[in-house]
Amino acid sequence: MTNSNLMVVLSSPSGAGKTTLTKKIQQKFQNFKISVSHTTRKARPNEVDGIDYFFVEKDEFQKKIENKDFYEYAKIFNNYYGTSKESVNSILKNNNSILFDIDWQGNKQLSDYKELKLIKIFLVPPNKNELKKRLIQRNQDNKDVIEERLKAFDKDTVHWLDYDYIVINDNLDNCFTQIEKIIFSNNN
């Protein structure tokens, strides 16, 4: 599909579908590899170290910050997340395109590296009520965490102007088709 290394950033408020869409893109386009972030949060039952995240202790994460090992990092809901320069450079060296599943803070930091040719897409649910329904249905968080994520929604969405494209995820297949068109239009 691609004849050049594309670097696609997908950001969204928690629960808007970015991880699902990221995996769907990778399944359709074999050339895309997902940038696996480091995190200090504990793995969920279905997550695999090195596939979903690199799960590390807080002190190890702090050392990586001090060594400037990350293109970007942020503290989100009391845990740290970061994109390692080494893993990104390895993906690009192998002539693959890359998908970043990161939040607006990570996008802002990544955008400071002008040599990275980023295609930045911000996903939003159709409305806050739909977001609440999705957060409850995915059954990963307790009531307090869901409320915290809903409060963060308003803070997250003010950053959508930092992106090249805003896509409303009202239907997964329609949203994926829109992202596909964005990828094809940027593959010149």
Cβ distance 33 to 78 under 8 Å?
Answer: no
Cα 178 from Cα 10, distance rounded (Å): 13
Which domains are assigned to the chain?
Answer: 7-185 (3.40.50.300)
List the beta bridge partners of residue 7: 98, 118
162 DSSP 8-state letter: G
82, 90, 43, 120 alpha-carbon torsion, rounded to 10°:
50
Q: How confident is the model at residue 61 (pLDDT cuts 50, 70, 90)?
A: very high
How far is Cα 144 from Cα 142, in angstroms, rounded to an integer? 6
For residues 50 and 57, give the distance between their C-alpha atoms in angstroms, rounded to a whole number.
14
What is the tens place of the pLDDT at every residue in 14-40? Answer: 778 888 898 899 899 889 999 999 999
Which residues contact residue 24 at a Cβ distance below 8 angstroms, ignoring those fewer than 6 apart? 172, 176
* 63 Cβ neighbours under 8 A, 6+ residues apart: none
Distance between CA 82 and CA 102 in Å, rounded?
9
State if pTM tops 0.85. Answer: no
* DSSP-derived pairing of the beta strands 97-101 and 32-34: parallel
Q: Are 1 and 153 in contact (CB under 8 A)?
A: no
Question: Between these two residues, 65 and 133, which has the higher pLDDT value?
Answer: 65
3, pLDDT greater than 70: no
Residue from 66, 71, 74, 91 nearest 83 by CA: 71
Share of the chain above pLDDT 90, in %: 50
- What value does the mean pLDDT take over residues 96-118? 90
**Count, residues in the chain:** 188
Phi first, then psi: give them for residue 107, nearest 5 degrees: -60, -45
